[in-house]
Each structure stands twice: as C-alpha cells, then as structure tokens.
C-alpha cells in the first residue's frame, strides 16, 4: 500500500513537471518587444523649376560631395579627439573623488578604533557590576568590531579597485536575468575599467543629445522609456527597439531623437562585443515631473 502511494506520488510529480515546466519556459521566452515605427510621415516638396542638371552642375555637385566627405571625416576625427579628452577628464575626476572617499573612510576607522579601546577600559572597571550589563556591553563591542571590519574591508576593496582602474562609478545594472550561472563572469566584465569608461562615455553622449520638450509633457507621474539599440562596428545605430514605451508620445519621440542625434556612438571595446561584430545595449530614460521648473 505504502509503495503504491509512493509510486502514485512520483507519477503525479512527473505529470505536473511534464505540463508546467515547458509552459513556464515558453512563457519566459516570449518577448514583449514593440517595434517603434517612424513617427513622421514625410511629404516632399519637389524642388521648383529645376530641370535635368547639366554636366558641369553634376560635376560641381560631385566635387561638393567629395569635399563634404573630406570635411565629414575631419570632423569625425575632431569629435573623436574631443571624446577622448572628455574621457581623460572624467578619469581624473574619478581618481580625485576616490582619494577623498578613502581619506574619509580612514578617518572613520581611526575614530571607531579609539571608541573601541575606551569601551574595553570601561568594561574592566565595571567588571564587578551586574552580569547582564556586561553582556550587553559585550554585544555592543561586537557590533563595533563588526563595523570596523566592514569598513576596513570596504577600504581594501576601494584600494584594490583604485589600483587597477581608471574608470567611472558603478551605477550600472546588469540585464534581466542576473541569477543564472555565469553572473560573476559578467560582473567581472562590467568591473573592467575599459568597459566602465565606455559605458560612461555612452551615457554622456546620449544624455547630451537628449532634449525633452517639458511643455508638452502634461503628466503628473514619473514616466520611463526602456529601449535597446544595436551599435555597429563603425558606431552606427542599426536598430532601435522600444521595449517599454512611456505612453507619452512627446516623451517617446524625444528619446528616439536623442539616440539618432547621438549617433554615431563611440565604438564598444572588444570585451563587450563577445566576438560579435555588433553590440547591444539598453537605455532607460526617466522623467520626474516634480523636478519641473520654470524657464
């Protein structure tokens, strides 16, 4: 009887697994991607009164195009130089900030150490007093020690990160599914200075191109657009996929304009591309109406 019950249980378990696991996985796989179609319809005005161009005109135009191409290249070069300068500046800034943070932390450790020694002394004096109170003190001491320990660890981590990096702050978030094996690998990649520096430049470039017509956003709540873009080897943006529109048309459009204006984007480091000839990165643009001010 008991054996029968056991078998029944096993069978039931398998049955459930058989039905629900594929269901679960399939639902997980289904993406909720919305392809954002172009927001403008273009109605071209014919250039007036211009019949077929003559040969000289064609030649002139071609010469002009060639010249413009040259100009364009020069400009790109300049832009790249400017970007690199920006990067260097950023790195300098970060180093200074970290030095400050370290000095701050050391001061705190010293203060806590002093506190700890004072407490040990007073413990000895009061040894004859109530046992309960002593225990309480001990507990407090433990806490303090733990705090010191924590801070020292942090300090060590900071020192380490300072030694092997020149990049920016860590306010990045890895994608949708961080808990699935290989996370540490991904995180290690994210911590690398080249990647951090790159993400910082990307952030600055897109932010700098983003203009939100606040007058058009008559919204009381925080809104957000989440999108994913593909950056090609030459920095061109080959696709924009809006994963979560905000529902506010002027806001969504401002975000798309920003991406288009920021392009061509800085070229990602090899380590991020993972062997592919393109790189996919996501952005989340937030708008907080409370911060609105006149102007």
Residues 225-244 touching other proteins, rule: CB under 8 A, are 226, 228
Indicate which single residue of 30, 55, 131, 180 sits in contact with other proteins (rule: CB under 8 A). Answer: 180
Nearest approach in angstroms of CB 221 to other proteins is: 13
52 binds other proteins (CB under 8 A): no
Q: Would you call 111 exposed, middle or buried from its count of C-beta atoms within 10 A (0-12, 13-18, 19+)?
A: exposed
In the complex, the smallest distance separating the C-beta of residue 162 from other proteins, rounded to whole angstroms, is 23
User: Could you tell me which stretch among 3-11, 86-94, 120-128, 135-143 binds other proteins (CB under 8 A)?
Assistant: 3-11
| Residue linked to tokens 């070229």 | 267
Distance, in Å, from the CA atom of 68 to the CA atom of 274, rounded to the nearest integer, reads 35
Which of residues 203 and 232 has its CB atom nearest to other proteins in the complex? Answer: 203
User: At its nearest, how many Å lie between other proteins and the CB of residue 45?
Assistant: 3
Binding test (CB under 8 A) with other proteins, winner from 43, 56, 130, 290: 43
> Near other proteins by CB under 8 A, which window of 105-113, 142-150, 154-162, 286-294?
286-294
User: Does 47 contact other proteins by CB under 8 A?
Assistant: yes
For other proteins, which stretch binds (CB under 8 A), given 46-54, 117-125, 129-137, 150-158? 46-54
Q: Does 63 bind other proteins (CB under 8 A)?
A: no
# chain residues binding other proteins, by CB under 8 A: 83
Strands 278-287 and 223-232: antiparallel
Q: Indicate the DSSP class of residue 99.
A: H
Residue 221, token pair as written in the block: 């709540």
Among residues 51, 52, 54, 182, the one that binds other proteins under rule CB under 8 A: 182
Residue of 289, 176, 283 lying closest to 225 (CA atoms): 283
- Coil, helix or strand for 2? helix
One symbol per residue from 185 to 224: x for binding other proteins (CB under 8 A), - otherwise; what is it?
-x---x--------x--xx--xxxxxxxxxxxxx------
Q: Does 75 bind other proteins (CB under 8 A)?
A: yes
Question: What do you get for the CA distance between the two ends of the chain, in Å?
Answer: 81
Asked whether the beta carbons of 289 and 220 are under 8 A apart, the reply is yes
- Stretch binding other proteins (CB under 8 A), from 39-47, 97-105, 107-115, 122-130: 39-47
**Cβ–Cβ < 8 Å for 191, 157:** no
Least Å from the CB of residue 124 to other proteins? 52
Around 110, how many Cα atoms within 13 Å sit in the side-chain half-sphere?
6
Other Cβ atoms less than 10 A from the Cβ of 287: the count is 20
Q: CA separation (Å) from 95 to 109, 189, 241, 282, 290?
A: 21, 20, 36, 27, 33
Task: Work out which of 54, 163, 177, 184 binds other proteins, going by CB under 8 A.
Answer: 177
Distance CA 42, CA 12 (A): 61
> Exactly one of 9, 22, 99, 113 binds other proteins (CB under 8 A); which one?
22
């Amino acid at each position: 009887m008991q054996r029968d019950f056991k078998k029944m249980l096993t069978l039931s378990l398998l049955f459930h697994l058989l039905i629900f696991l594929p269901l679960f996985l399939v639902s997980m796989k289904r993406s909720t991607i919305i392809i954002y179609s172009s927001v403008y319809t273009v109605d071209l005005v014919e250039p007036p009164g211009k019949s077929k161009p003559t040969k000289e005109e064609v030649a002139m135009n071609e010469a002009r195009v060639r010249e413009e191409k040259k100009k364009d290249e020069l400009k790109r070069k300049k832009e790249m130089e400017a970007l690199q300068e920006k990067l260097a500046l950023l790195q300098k800034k970060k180093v200074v900030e970290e030095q400050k943070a370290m000095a701050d932390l050391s001061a705190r450790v010293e203060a806590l150490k002093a506190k700890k020694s004072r407490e040990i002394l007073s413990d000895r004096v009061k040894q004859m007093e109530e046992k309960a109170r002593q225990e309480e003190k001990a507990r407090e001491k433990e806490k303090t020690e733990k705090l010191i320990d924590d801070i020292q660890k942090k300090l060590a981590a900071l020192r380490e990160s300072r030694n092997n990096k020149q990049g920016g702050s860590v306010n990045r978030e890895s994608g949708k599914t961080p808990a699935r094996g290989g996370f540490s690998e991904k995180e290690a990649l994210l911590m690398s200075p080249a990647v951090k520096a790159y993400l910082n430049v990307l952030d600055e470039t897109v932010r700098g191109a983003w203009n939100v017509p606040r007058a058009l956003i008559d919204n009381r709540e925080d809104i957000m657009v989440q999108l994913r873009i593909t950056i090609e080897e030459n920095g061109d943006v080959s696709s924009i996929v809006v994963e979560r529109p905000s529902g506010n048309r002027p806001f969504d459009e401002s975000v798309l304009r920003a991406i288009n204006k920021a392009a061509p984007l800085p070229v990602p480091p090899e380590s991020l591309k993972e062997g592919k000839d393109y790189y996919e990165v996501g952005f989340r643009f937030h708008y907080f109406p409370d911060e609105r001010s006149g102007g």
